[in-house]
Amino acid sequence: MRHLSELKGEVQRWRALERRVAEALELVQIAVDEQDASLEEEIGAELERISSQLEELEFELVIGGEYDQRNAILAVHAGAGGTDAQDWAQMLLRMYLRWAERRGYRAEVLEVSPGEEAGIKSALVEVVGKHVYGSLKSERGVHRLVRLSPFDASHARHTSFVLVEVMPEAEREVDVRLDPDDLRIDFFRASGPGGQHVQKTSTAVRATHLPTGLVAICQKERSQFQNKETALKILRSRLLELELAKKAEEQAKLKGEHVAAGWGNQIRSYVLHPYKMVKDHRTGYETSDPAAVLDGDLDELIKAYLKSALGEGKG
């Protein structure tokens, strides 16, 4: 029923645009018949609005995959690069939170593992909104940063790597059914900065899926029940993403494509020194304004990837 409602809404938006185009054409005809130049500005403004809405609707067609309309769970993991990589992971986390804010999405940090000196080792974020997974799936992969290290006394140039995972939010018992016999649930005390913030009871939860070895941890909430529900939500999404990855790998093998895995293939490079550039290696799209990208201006990078994935050429 929800899917039917979404389809009806989509049809209504296209029909409404169709009516506006028809009305604009009538206005053009009136202007021509009556030789009324005063209508020119009004017609021009309406055509700009129609063009903008058409572009938005066409972009929604690009993100029309089976799970693209879902919410997403995004994970950030610091990789090679020590403290610089952990700082880079925190920069990327901020970038995605800013992107969600710009788009009007709700983003909630479910779990953060602080770095030893600075930054974070890993983080888990739930992003809620329309077509979130369809947009964020373009971010899945290794992100490389090249800059002068603020943690190096000699200010040498460092290269850091961060792995970004993106999972569609799984619907309970519809996409993934969790058999209680396949789960191990452990409870432990949530870690904190000390003093009154340290939990006195075991509210943190670790959920392990025994057949796959996948693990989900949540210690954000004060309630053991809430942490367990969130951990199971994360686990369902990880299992759904695992299933999608298996299908993609099978399809790639049937097509004879090389299936890249591991850290060796970064999807995007962010260069802050000796020049400024962000380049997506899958599409060839690049910009000389990394500051804007790191402040959440990701839409053009995302669009270029999605269009490229559809075979519409590189952005």
Tokens of residue 149, six digits: 């290290």
pLDDT of 261 reads 41
Taking the C-alpha atoms of residue 191 and residue 227, their distance in angstroms, rounded to an integer, is: 14
Angstrom CA distances, 32 to 18, 23, 25, 43, stand at: 21, 14, 11, 12
What class does CATH assign to 72-169+259-309?
A: alpha beta
Give residue 178's pLDDT: 87
pLDDT at 193: 46
CA-to-CA distance for 132 and 203, rounded, in angstroms?
30
The answer to whether 124 and 75 are in contact (CB under 8 A) is yes
- pTM above the 0.95 mark? no
Residues 6+ apart with CB under 8 A from 119: 78, 83, 85, 86, 87, 88, 89, 90, 91
Residue 154 has which token pair?
């000699």
Counting as low any pLDDT under 70, the low residues of the chain are: 173-174, 191-201, 251-264, 311-315
DSSP conformational letter for 72: E
Given this model, what pLDDT does residue 220 score? 80
Question: Residue 89: its pLDDT value, please?
Answer: 96
Pick the CATH number of 180-254 from 3.30.160.20, 3.30.110.40, 1.20.1250.20, 3.90.1150.10: 3.30.160.20
Task: Render the burial of 51-88: b for 16+ CB within 10 Å, e for the rest.
Answer: eeeeeeeebbebbebebbbbbbbbbbbbbebbbbbbbb
Cβ atoms < 10 Å from Cβ of 255: 7
